Structure 1
Amino acid sequence: MGLDLLFKIAGVGILISVFHTALKQAGKEDMAHLCTLAGFAVVLVWVVQLLGRLFTTVQDVFKLF
C-alpha cells in the first residue's frame, strides 16, 4: 500500500513535469498550468483518501466515538 502509492505519486509527478515542459515549449503555457493543476488534484485526492483511512484506523484502535 505505502510503497505502491509512493510510486504512483512519483509517476504522476514525472508524467506531469514532462507534459508541462512539452506544452510550455509549444507556447501553450495556460494548458501547461492546467495540466499541472489536474495532476496536483489527482494526487491530492489520493492523499485525502489515505488520510481518511488513517483516521478511521486510529478511531478503531483507540475506540473513539
Structure 2
Amino acid sequence: MEVDLIFKIAAIGILVAVLNQLLIRSGREEQGLMVVLAGLVCVLMLMVREISDLFDLIKSLFDF
C-alpha cells in the first residue's frame, strides 16, 4: 500500500470530521450525516480501486 493513499484517507477523514462538527454545532445534524456518508463513499471508492489492483496482481502472480 502506498503512503500517498494513507494520507488521502487521513485528509478526507479530517475534513469530514471538521465539517461534521461545524454542521452539528449549527443545528444541521442531517447535513452533517450526509457529509459523513459522502466521505465514507469517497474512501470506499479509493479502497475498491486498490483492492481491484491487488486482485489483478494476485491473478497475474498465479497466472490464471
TM class, shorter-length: over 0.9
Q: How does 1:1-65 map to 2 (within 5 A)?
A: 2-64=2-64
Task: Compute the displacement of 1:12 (Å).
Answer: 0.3
- Distance in 2 between residues matched to 1:2 and 1:27, nearest whole Å: 38
Point out where structure 2 has 5 or more consecutive residues left out of the alignment: none
Q: Write the distance in 2 (CA, Å) between the matches of 1:37 and 1:43.
A: 10
Please report the TM-score for the alignment, with normalisation by the length of structure 2: 0.97
TM-score (norm 1): 0.95
Deviation (angstroms), 1:59: 0.3
What percentage of residue pairs aligned between the two structures are identical? 36
What is the rounded CA distance, in whole Å, between the counterparts of 1:59 and 1:3 in structure 2? 24
Unaligned runs of 5+ in 1: none
Large movers: runs of 4+ above 3 Å: none
How many matched pairs? 64
> CA RMSD for the aligned pairs?
0.8
